[in-house]
Structure 1
Amino acid sequence: MLLRNITLRDFGAYRGNQSLELSTSPGRPIVLIGGMNGCGKTTLLDALQLVLYGPRARCSGRGNRPYETYLRECINRQADPSTGAEIELEFSITVDGNERVYRVCRKWAASGKSLHEYVNVLVNGTWDRTISEGWADHVEDLLPLEIGSLFFFDGEKIESLADPERASAVIESAVHSLLGVNTVQQLRTDLLALQRRQKLTGEERETVVQIRELESRHDAIQHEVEAAHAKVAELRSRLDAAKVTLDNAEYSFQKDGGALYERRRELEAHRKDAAKALAADEEALANLAAGPLPLLLVGDQLTAVYKQATVEQQADESAQIIGVLANRDRDILDRLDALLSTADLNAFRAHLDGDRKERELAGSAERILALSPDGYGRLAGLDQVLTHEVQRAQELLAQAAEQASILATLDRQLAGVPDEKVIATRIAEREQSMRAVHRLEADLESALAVHATSKGRREALTAELERAHEARVKTLVRAEEVARIISYCDRQRAVLDKFGTALLARHINRLEVAVLDSFTKLMRKHGLIRGLRIDTSRYQLTLIGADGEPLDPGRLSAGERQLLAVSLVWGLARVAGNWLPSVIDTPLGRLDSRHREHLVDRYFPQASHQVLLLSTDEEIDERLLMRLRPSLAHTYTLVHDDTTFTTSVQPGYWWGTGASHVA
């Protein structure tokens, strides 16, 4: 059992919501809670018991007051009584190998003279109505009150366990409840009840035969169900181990380059595509180079050709229009002869003659290229063709560069692919692990189907058996059947008597060794106690002194008696397997410094998987805190406001009288 969190709302001196995280981890089992006297340490211990056991809780602050009166007084004085108070505890417990998380919320509020209390229980985050309504019985299955009181105790009051009479009652209760002896006694009681029922009920021979057959078949199918359940559990365990092996094989495979090896074909195909694309780009560039693109290498000559072609084209045009211009000029001069003066007409004639001479001069240019009219057009379009070819060449060069980069990257990746001989072992290990996992998964699925089938057959037989029992109407049991059952019950009760005696002796022997070992570890005086005996009939604890004679516990000091009581609780916890948390209020009262060190060094870190210490500043001081620090999971300080009479929970731990610093 592991306490996870407790939240108090307007409970006692705790005003508002005050929450403490209580989860611990291996090697750090201790939650240290500090507080001055009157700050609420005992109130916190009472809250743990109250939320679990309600009216049956053995709260130190209740006394002889009625339960409702106690609850009213537990509501914070500054809170509204109609709103009330609330305690919420979250804890986990393992049932059949599965962790089950409980969240128990106990709330109460006053309405006039009446008081209403509510208990809500969430299991794995889901409200459970049945458990909530029957929580008082359910908690006895999880943590019986008699057992819980042994592990939720006041360090100063626990000294009373050193008294032989008080210790006898505790030992008897613990041995029977905590160590399972009462289960044997309950079996004996059930057998006796069965005997008595058999004397009062019976059935005819035919009905008896039918029921016997059904019970035999039911027992057989019950064994099948249990065997199937065990097989499922075994396969789950083996499957979990196989998955771990597969994870390790997968990790080794990936570590040695398995991912690249698996992508090798993909990378090779990608490289092939990239190589093809690069070759296509290079071929396209070669085709471009076979066209007019190389003319760019003779750019100056090409420019001169353009100029010469332009000159020759203009010469051809001038030669073609010289005759037309001469006729036009004569016509114009004839028309202007009557309109202009002789001087103006001569000037205009001179201008026209000059223009014709210039055109005649241009038309007489040397014909080097001698292009046809179509040749001039094709030469004029060559520039546009070259511009387009240059743009296409640039695009192809960019594509080729990109494909070359991709090709280089793929070559590097392929170079990093491990050789098949190197990775073969990892591949074989992974494939073997995968086959094992798949095989176990199939086996588990088959086992689950068998388990479900067996359960279905068992349920059918159970229903048939119930119907057979319901058919027992107005029948009498035959004397020999009754005698047989009674005889078997007597024999089994005798066996259980012997088993119970042997089991009790075994547990008592283990408890003697554990308590003596615990007391020896905690005592400052070595050799004071040489032995320890527990009477199996009266459960009385007897100490054996150094002289071999019984030692009266009254001869021990108050601190030594407290250590003896702690040793008794510790020994019980060790024999029971340390499955319950220990909550200790005022853990070091009446102890000298040496004994305190022994408890801090030897008991608290090993008392249980979870230990809650409620300490004053003078018990766990700065020196002891340093010794305890490696085992601490959480530390808290209960801070009391004397003006409002309220307590709040602060993280960290103080030490030293009047000190305000936090550890």
Structure 2
Amino acid sequence: MAKITISSLSIENLGPFRERQTLDLSVTSGRPVVLVKALNGSGKTTLLTALQIGLYGHKAMDGLKRSEYEQLLLGLQRKDATGNAAVDISVTVEVGGSQRHLEVRREWHRRSDGLVEELSIFEGGSKDLEFSQTWDEFIGSILPAELVQLFLFDGEKIEELANPERLPDLLRRATEVFLGIGGIDALGNDLKALERRAALKNKNTSAEFESARSGLGEWEQQVKVLEAKVQTLTQEQGAAKNDAEQAQVLLDKFTNDAQRRGLTAYEQAAVIRNAVVASKDRVDAARGGLAEIMADPVLPIAWLSKLWTQYSDAWDQDQHARHSKLLGQEFKKRDQRVMSAIAAVAPKAALDALRKALADDLQAYTRSRTAAVPPLQDANPRDVERQLKDATSRLGGELSRLQSAQVELDKAEQRIGQIPAEEQIGEILKLLQDKSKAASAAEARLAGITERLEEAQSNLAHTRMRLNAAQERLGTEFRDRSLEAKSLDASSRARRALMIFKDRLLASKAQWLSEMITTEFRNLLRKRNLIAKVVVDPKTYRVFIEDGKHQELPMDRLSAGERQLLAISVLSALIKERKGRFPVVVDTPLARLDQQHRSALIKRFFATVSHQVVVLSTDQEVDGPAYDALKPFTNAEYTLDYDDAAGRTSIHAAQPPEAN
């Protein structure tokens, strides 16, 4: 951001200044003040006006029309002048660390039809034609013309800024300028103008286009209504779903509790009783089957296990004896065949010996049969054992069946005993019925809302389809008009958004202004406990003071000097917003202040408000203690001496202040 320092001011043929008079305004670091002292009427106000109009021309005179500006200049221009009225201001412009030394010359030529103003910008002794044409934009980017009178101001009129009716407008306008909100307003006005021109252009718009737009608007409205309905029903569906789930949870919880208290047994009483009857039938059937098996004639043998073993052994021995007898008879026949076969060929002695051996062997075999075993004529015990095994197996199955049936019967009879009486379960049944009805009602409500929601969604989809068709028709048949209509709608929305953005910017800056003005005012004020803070309302920008009890302090409670300090505090806050990028020039700043307030103003305002401060004072205003307080910060001092006889003012340098 650029920074401007005024090196010198030259003025001629304006007010009390006739011949060219030059005021060196150069300052050094630590000594930002240039003091100019003069009697009333010697040209202090003319110097201030020269600086304003020299830099900004008619834009510096806020509220003045061009004709009034010319009248002001005609009043300032000397009648005895031999040349044109002119103001030359040498400035140093710092941009990005580099410096440019410029001379701004504004000259007024008198003609029969009025004054002609000429602006020239010189750099290095040569006139820069392009810069001369763009100077207003350049200086306005550093300090807008709307705020020049906040930096170059008349101290005797500064108290007027503390007027509660004027101050809000001043603060708002200054804040808008600092924030660049003027661009927002300009953009808003341009959009309005665009809308007006479009309205005039389409004044005779065809009925068909208006009908199409109207139909489109109706479909858009229906879509909005249906979207709102869908949103509402969706919320209702969520709530109904929660209610249904909650009702079902309560029902399930109560049902589980009721079942523990006998509800299940009561509800299943008939089933349990039928189970008892069936179990008894199975027990009876098992017993009948057992009795039938017990009638098997072979089965008693199972209880005669020892005797049966003996019988089986005896039967085996009998069978062995019978087999031995048969074998002995066969052996005897064999021996006879053998003897007959060898009788013819063997000696007699050998035959006798063989016959004897065979006879002894046969006799020994036959003696092995037990004579004590009685002959048995019964069936084979192996066959009986197979029948016995089958009967025993069937007996075990029937016994197991009987046992299982008996266990089921016992359990069924036990459950019969757990069935509560009807009078014991009546209240539970009633509550269960109520909760079931509540759950059913919640489910029915959810189903109804879901059905309405699906219907609304279907209608919305259909309406959107019709809306798209209407938009497509506008885009096809009235493309240019449709685009223009969309642009105008966007313009309207943009203007509303800009206004909201502007209001929020101003509201955010109000807090910063409150803090800055409070700090500046407390620094300048002698009675520190008089105020707690200065408040800038974020909406109206109304300025009011809160005392130590946080109650509003009426402005009429302040003295004239305190009101002037409040106004200077406001200016100081606004000036410091520019962060020392522009000089401050003040005319007659201390006239209404007492000595203590003058000292505070000098040390906390003049010495700190900017890198360059020009104080235009009366001969007695900055004097004595005030002069001593300002002296350490003063870089140069001048006097304006008015010659009554010649009717002109001359500028003279005073003795330079001593260095610290």
Name the CA distance, whole Å, in 2 between partners of 1:97 and 1:477: 54
Aligned 1:200-239 pairs, distance under 5 A: none
Task: Specify the alignment match of 1:415 in structure 2.
Answer: none
Name the CA distance, whole Å, in 2 between partners of 1:171 and 1:568: 8
Q: Does 1:556 pair with 2:565? A: no
Task: Specify the alignment match of 1:14 in structure 2.
Answer: 17
Name the CA distance, whole Å, in 2 between partners of 1:615 and 1:12: 18
* Secondary structure of residue in 2 paired with 1:90: strand
Residues 637 and 653, structure 1, Cα contact 8 Å, conserved in 2:
no
| Deviation for aligned residue 1:33 | 0.8
Letter in 2 for 1:43: T
| Deviation for aligned residue 1:638 | 1.0
Distance 1:594 1:654, change over 3 A: farther
How big is each residue's C-alpha offset from its partner over 1:35-61, in whole Å with a ceiling of 9 and x where there is no partner?
A: 11111111111111222333444399x
Aligned 1:316-465 pairs, distance under 5 A: none
Name the CA distance, whole Å, in 2 between partners of 1:493 and 1:118: 39
* Secondary structure of residue in 2 paired with 1:15: coil
Distance 1:533 1:87, change over 3 A: same
2:8 to 5, 10, 14: 5
Distance 1:561 1:654, change over 3 A: farther
Residues 531 and 545, structure 1, Cα contact 8 Å, conserved in 2:
yes
* Secondary structure of residue in 1 paired with 2:78: coil
Task: Specify the alignment match of 2:596 in structure 1.
Answer: 594
Name the CA distance, whole Å, in 1 between partners of 2:495 and 2:84: 52
| Deviation for aligned residue 1:486 | 6.1
How big is each residue's C-alpha offset from its partner over 1:582-636, in whole Å with a ceiling of 9 and x where there is no partner?
A: 1100010110011001011111111111111001121111432222222222221
Q: Give the number of equivalent residue pairs.
A: 381
Aligned 1:37-48 pairs, distance under 5 A: 37-48=40-51
Name the CA distance, whole Å, in 2 between partners of 1:114 and 1:173: 32
Task: Specify the alignment match of 2:149 in structure 1.
Answer: 149
Name the CA distance, whole Å, in 1 between partners of 2:177 and 2:516: 18
Distance 1:170 1:653, change over 3 A: farther
| Deviation for aligned residue 1:198 | 9.3
Residues 179 and 576, structure 1, Cα contact 8 Å, conserved in 2:
no
* Secondary structure of residue in 2 paired with 1:546: coil
Name the CA distance, whole Å, in 1 between partners of 2:69 and 2:493: 47
Task: Specify the alignment match of 2:37 in structure 1.
Answer: 34
Task: Specify the alignment match of 2:118 in structure 1.
Answer: 118
Percent identity among equivalent residues? Answer: 35
Task: Specify the alignment match of 2:585 in structure 1.
Answer: 583
Name the CA distance, whole Å, in 2 between partners of 1:653 and 1:528: 40
Structure 2's unaligned 5+ residue stretches are 203-476
| Deviation for aligned residue 1:69 | 4.3
Task: Specify the alignment match of 2:91 in structure 1.
Answer: 91
Letter in 1 for 2:154: D
Name the CA distance, whole Å, in 1 between partners of 2:124 and 2:188: 36
Task: Specify the alignment match of 1:631 in structure 2.
Answer: 633
Letter in 1 for 2:519: D
Name the CA distance, whole Å, in 1 between partners of 2:192 and 2:96: 30
Name the CA distance, whole Å, in 2 between partners of 1:483 and 1:68: 46
1:534 to 526, 533, 536: 536
Task: Specify the alignment match of 2:506 in structure 1.
Answer: 504
Task: Specify the alignment match of 2:103 in structure 1.
Answer: 103
Letter in 2 for 1:104: V
Residues 156 and 586, structure 1, Cα contact 8 Å, conserved in 2:
yes
Which has the larger Rg? 2
Distance 1:654 1:64, change over 3 A: farther
Residues 637 and 656, structure 2, Cα contact 8 Å, conserved in 1:
no
How big is each residue's C-alpha offset from its partner over 1:486-537, in whole Å with a ceiling of 9 and x where there is no partner?
A: 6766666565445433322221111110001000000001111112211233
* Secondary structure of residue in 2 paired with 1:648: strand
Letter in 2 for 1:550: E
Distance 1:596 1:617, change over 3 A: same
| Deviation for aligned residue 1:115 | 4.1
1:618 to 620, 625, 629: 620
Residues 635 and 656, structure 2, Cα contact 8 Å, conserved in 1:
no
| Deviation for aligned residue 1:71 | 2.9
How big is each residue's C-alpha offset from its partner over 1:178-234, in whole Å with a ceiling of 9 and x where there is no partner?
A: 232333444555566678899989xxxxxxxxxxxxxxxxxxxxxxxxxxxxxxxxx
Distance 1:653 1:488, change over 3 A: farther
| Deviation for aligned residue 1:485 | 5.7
| Deviation for aligned residue 1:161 | 0.8
Residues 511 and 538, structure 2, Cα contact 8 Å, conserved in 1:
no
Q: Give the alignment's Cα RMSD to 1 decimal.
A: 3.6
Task: Specify the alignment match of 1:521 in structure 2.
Answer: 523
Distance 1:506 1:111, change over 3 A: closer
